[in-house]
A and B are shown apart, each in its own frame.
Chain A
Amino acid sequence: MSEFHDDYPSYEHMAHHSEEEGKTKRKALWRVFWYMLIITIVELIIGSMAPAQGWSGTLGLKVLFIGLTVVKAGFIVMAFMHLGHEVTFMKYTILLPYVIFMSYAIFIILDEGVYSGDPQNRTKVDPILIQQQLDLKNGHGHHDAAATEAHGEHAEEAHH
């Protein structure tokens, strides 16, 4: 905007701050970094403990992980991307359309997912694979070829 040479202050220059202000800002940014690091480490610890503890795939774990992710996303958008310090109008112009549209998309998959989750309503899956995953669930080895061979004799049409 500087090429207009008007008397109005330009937004590019309004973002400037002094050395002291910079110090407090940097401190705040590093604090956000530590929060995010701690959240990520907690996620990884829980994630690596989950299979042994039998938490894998539980609703509580999913909600926890998605919740922590949203918290991290909030830190990035509000602190790093500075949106938390923009004017209210700007904040809602960016956030509201996105939140409304994504809420709709998530609602749709939750709704339609009930129908499509029924194995009858999907393309046939390789029976060997189904057996492998069952064996894995029941505590057999990951690639237990001997166990799967017996069940995978009749090759169904896996894909169309």
Chain B
Amino acid sequence: MSHSTEIDSKHAWDGGQSPFRVSYGKMMMWFFLVSDALTFGGLLVSYGFIRHKYVDVWPKAENVFTHFPFIEQHLPLAYVGLMTFILIMSSVTMVLAVEAGHRNDRKKVTIWMFWTIVGGATFVLSQAWEWYHFIVGTETGALRNVWSEELHTYVQQTVYGANMTVNEYGVPQFANYFFFITGFHGFHVFSGVIINLVIFLNVLKGTYEKRGHYEMVEKVGLYWHFVDLVWVFVFTFFYLL
């Protein structure tokens, strides 16, 4: 960081400069991300609590997520590994777009932003695919006691896939937390792709070239990295542990 310009102490606190040496917009993006991180932190902490409570009936990820597109084989964790790779990769292309923005290199910003959007969209679609297989479930299903509204009692029934009240993998809470946390994260990725798209169009239009700096790219970049950051934790707590 080229903090080469010394700031006159007379002006340091009179509104001319930020004591944090960052622009107002960037600092506010950071504050928003802290609050968003607290939301995800709260969700994951509560997930950990409930999982601990039902530890004996909590399914293992390697028995649940075993599908891979176009391959009819039992491949635990392979697909989510690929998804993680795609998201990390799109984080790298994003940071390269930010770096190109610091050199006012519009062509490179365009290219890297484009790949970031492609990576993000691929991730969202992968997650939809993952959800689809999670909801549909296996061919064998699993036996459960399911509440019957007509008989007003529990009846034994084979359950396939997952919904909010019952699933074939484990306790209902497992599917509930899976839907809620990966859904909340997936929505963040989705809105990130939309925001990236808006900024991408502005880059194409030359808005930031006229402005003389690409800080908007940096700000959406912060949001995008945050989405990647959350996924790193979701990946660990849902798939690895």
Chain A residues close to B by CB (< 8 Å): 1-2, 6, 8-19, 21-22, 25-26, 29-30, 33, 36-37, 40-41, 43-44, 47-48, 50-51, 56, 61-62, 65-66, 68-69, 72-73, 76-77, 79-81, 85-87, 89-90, 93-94, 97-98, 101-102, 105-106, 109, 112-113, 116-117, 119, 122, 125-130, 132-133, 136, 142-143, 145, 148-149, 152, 155-159
Are B212 and A65 in contact, with the CB atoms below 8 A?
Answer: no
Q: Which residue on B lies nearest to A40, using beta carbons?
A: B84
Give complex CA distance A138, B181 in Å. 31
B194 at the interface (CB under 8 A from A): no
Residue pairs across A and B with Cβ atoms less than 8 A apart, 21 shown, are A2-B212, A10-B213, A13-B213, A15-B218, A16-B103, A22-B102, A33-B88, A40-B84, A47-B239, A61-B241, A81-B222, A105-B41, A109-B48, A109-B52, A113-B53, A125-B57, A128-B144, A129-B171, A136-B63, A145-B142, A156-B154
Give complex CA distance A41, B82 in Å. 10
Q: Which residue on A lies nearest to B239, using beta carbons?
A: A47
B84 to chain A: which residues have CB within 8 Å?
Answer: 40
B22 at the interface (CB under 8 A from A): yes
A40 with B85, Cβ < 8 A, contacts A15-B213, A109-B45, A125-B54 known: yes
Are B57 and A122 in contact, with the CB atoms below 8 A?
Answer: no
Are B16 and A117 in contact, with the CB atoms below 8 A?
Answer: no
Q: Which 9 A-B pairs have the closest CB atoms?
A: A155-B154, A155-B145, A12-B213, A11-B23, A90-B20, A69-B236, A143-B140, A109-B49, A9-B5
Q: Smallest CB–CB gap between B239 and chain A, Å?
A: 7
Q: Give how many A-B residue pairs fall within 8 Å (CB-CB).
A: 222
Give complex CA distance A40, B232 in Å. 9
Q: Which of B23, B45, B102, B221 touches A16 (beta carbons < 8 Å)?
A: B102
B182 at the interface (CB under 8 A from A): no
A94 with B34, Cβ < 8 A, contacts A102-B41, A112-B49 known: yes
Are B103 and A19 in contact, with the CB atoms below 8 A?
Answer: yes
B69 at the interface (CB under 8 A from A): no
Are A80 and B49 in contact, with the CB atoms below 8 A?
Answer: no
Q: Smallest CB–CB gap between A39 and chain B, Å?
A: 10
Q: Which of A56, A81, A89, A145 touches B143 (beta carbons < 8 Å)?
A: A145
Known: A12-B213, A69-B233. 9 other contacts (CB 8 A): A29-B92, A77-B229, A90-B30, A97-B34, A116-B52, A126-B144, A133-B170, A145-B143, A159-B172
B124 to chain A: which residues have CB within 8 Å?
Answer: none
A79 to chain B: which residues have CB within 8 Å?
Answer: 95
Are B20 and A89 in contact, with the CB atoms below 8 A?
Answer: yes
Give complex CA distance A50, B240 in Å. 10
B88 to chain A: which residues have CB within 8 Å?
Answer: 33, 36-37, 40
Give complex CA distance A130, B20 in Å. 55
Are A73 and B229 in contact, with the CB atoms below 8 A?
Answer: yes
A29 with B45, Cβ < 8 A, contacts A76-B232, A101-B38 known: no
Give complex CA distance A68, B236 in Å. 9
A155 with B21, Cβ < 8 A, contacts A22-B102, A37-B85 known: no
